[in-house]
Amino acid sequence: MHYMQVSPEVLSLKILNLQSGAECLETGVIRRVKCDEGKPSCQRCLSGPSRKCDGYVTATESIPENDSQGGLLLVRLPEYPDISDDELRAFQFFHEHTLTQLPGFHSCEFWDVIVRQIAREDVAVRHALVALAALHENFAAKGDSSSKRRTPESEHFALKQYNLAIHRHLQQIAGATLDNSDTKTLELERYLVSSLIFICIEIIRGHFASCMSLLKRTFGIFADLTKDIPKGQRPPSGLFEIFERQLNRLEAQSIVLIGYDAWDGQDAISSGSQATVTARRQPVLPALPEAFSSATEARDCFESYMHAFTLATARQGAAAVVNPSDIDLAMSQNKSPSVYLNGFGRWSKALDATMQNAQINDSNASFPNEKEREKERCASLVLHMHRLMVSTSVDLLSIQQHPTDADVQMSWDKYTGVFEQVVKIGESILSPTGSRGPSSVVADPSHSTPPPKAKERPYFTLDIGVVAPLYDIARRCRDPGVRRRAIALLYAYPRQEGMYDGVLAARVAERVVQIEETGLEHLASATDVPDWARISDVHPVFDFERKRALLCYQWRGAHGTVRRPVQEVMDWD
């Protein structure tokens, strides 16, 4: 199978005065390096053989133009007269907004360096980035009546760019000639970048069925193409490893949304045998240090263990477990993931050491400015949220005598303090000015439904974040105030975290609260919700094509003796 070759229509792209750093004006298919912004030339560029730095375009070489359609200031580049205002605007939006959101609270050279430089060399990637940025701007304008950008014309422009990217992508595939390993590696890099951007586009459009189909095909192609490339010949940028981690994260989220059986069988024939979970080899678990060098390393290790745990339980015929707080479900089915639980214990200790070191070395040279230190702090707090949620499940398992006791929902009440701590952490991350945020609006338990009014514009990231732990709190914490604060955060700060839609999660959580609290009066604490009213094994299976979800759960009712399966359909606009 052949993939992309270098397009003869190379169009170098340059956006000026980026907050994320300058970029040297170098072109051609060469090893990508991150500019060190040295003046008058980048020393990293000059350090390699046959490399040169062409210096920097200064502000005096550009002609600023006011943008009549929004708040961006267009910078006309005389070197590239063929770039339209709309394309230029999209690139500026990508650098000023999309680029800061996609990696979450982590620095990621994949988006900041690799993707930008490939876009300069490859016109298909350029069109794809323009489409993603334009769609992201429309996505961010949702619910903003003052925005002038969310128009049919802007949507048409984005889709036109998307179609151009796909068309160019297919042309390159058809004409590719991979005559040596270096060319194959280069073309694979470009294929992977295009595929991930296409996946982002489908997510931000809300076309999750198409996104999952594309994701599954990409898994198969990635496995087929990388199996013959020795590790020593892989790109020094670490692109393959970054890409694989991203695929694994999206796969885990997909299984949560549609179920393991649907995911593993989806497009299995057309995707190739390597695409199915059961056909792929068991991932190698990373070694866990005493302390991590960064929150990014801690996240990568955490996700590696959770993804391996997912595949292991799936292969054993159990229900796939990917939500960290659902570890107890696998144990209740007599599975014994002790290697993963032990790994979690070691990971948790390493995270503690990392966070303590960060407090001691608050002025760490690795994070030279306040903005980077704040990102690292938030990234660590997100991991702490996930750690606390996993810890509740692990602790609950350790004190239960029989696996079937995992369905005793009253046991979760002992963790109300932990749940409230997680919500406070979420509030401090999303509302840095204080932990009050939207929680004051719904502190009164008599409000059965928090007001679905957003405080912030929608946020789009591919990183793990706050949606999953806040949703888990809303379904497991029966304290009426705490669970409403969690739901209120999901509404007030609408976030798309990979496949996870925070607002959609809030709607499901609202329904769970409604089921459990209907007919109950004078709710002041978790103990006021009796065991018979509580539901367990809550699992929504989403049908994105028809915009509905099948909500599955176990419920006993006031006159029942055991919890029995219940299914109901939820529709959304």
As a whole number of angstroms, the distance between CA 264 and CA 262 comes to 6
Residue 365's pLDDT is what?
55
Among 276-280, 281-285, 292-296, 298-302, the least confident range: 276-280
Residue 69's pLDDT is what?
42
More confident site: 133 or 359? 133
More confident site: 175 or 173? 173
Residue 364's pLDDT is what?
53
Q: What is the DSSP letter of 286?
A: P
Give start and end residues of each alpha helix (H) in 102-238.
109, 116-121, 123-140, 152-175, 181-204, 208-226
More confident site: 33 or 427? 427
Reported residue count of the chain is: 573
| Sheet of strand 500-501: strand arrangement | 459-461, 495-497, 500-501
Give the best-scoring range by mean pLDDT among 29-38, 203-212, 264-273.
Answer: 203-212
The yes-or-no verdict on residue 549 having pLDDT over 70 is: yes
More confident site: 62 or 559? 559
Give the best-scoring range by mean pLDDT among 141-145, 246-250, 401-405.
Answer: 246-250
Residue 371's pLDDT is what?
84
Percent over 70 (pLDDT), the chain: 65
Residue 180's pLDDT is what?
56
The yes-or-no verdict on residue 443 having pLDDT over 70 is: no
Give the long-range contacts of residues 299-303, CB within 8 A, separation 24 or more: 299/106, 299/379, 299/383, 299/463, 299/464, 300/245, 301/347, 301/350, 302/347, 302/383, 302/386, 303/245, 303/248, 303/249, 303/252, 303/464
| φ, ψ (nearest 5 deg) of residue 567 | -130, 140
Q: pLDDT for 253-281, tens place per residue?
A: 888 787 777 787 654 434 444 445 555 55
Token pair recorded at residue 274: 């390597």
Per-residue H/E/C for 11-60:
CCCCCCCCCCCCCCCCCCCCCCCCCCCCCCCCHHHHHCCCCCCCCCCCHH
Distances (CA, A) of 97 to 18, 45, 410: 11, 27, 44
As a whole number of angstroms, the distance between CA 206 and CA 209 comes to 9
Distances (CA, A) of 431 to 96, 437, 455, 466, 500: 21, 6, 10, 12, 20
As a whole number of angstroms, the distance between CA 270 and CA 239 comes to 25
Residue 151's pLDDT is what?
67
To which H or E segment does residue 532 belong?
none
Q: Is this structure's pTM higher than 0.85? A: no
Residue 221's pLDDT is what?
79
How large is the average pLDDT for residues 33-55? 46
Among 81-85, 91-95, 294-298, 530-534, the least confident range: 81-85
Residue 232's pLDDT is what?
62
More confident site: 137 or 79? 137
Give the pLDDT band of residue 435 (cuts 50, 70, 90): very low
Residue 544's pLDDT is what?
77
* Residue 419 amino acid letter: F
Give the pLDDT band of residue 441 (cuts 50, 70, 90): very low
Kind of pairing between the strands at 73-76 and 548-555: unpaired
Q: pLDDT for 502-544, tens place per residue?
A: 999 999 999 999 999 999 999 999 999 999 999 998 888 888 7
Give the pLDDT band of residue 171 (cuts 50, 70, 90): confident
How large is the average pLDDT for residues 188-214? 90
Residue 293's pLDDT is what?
92
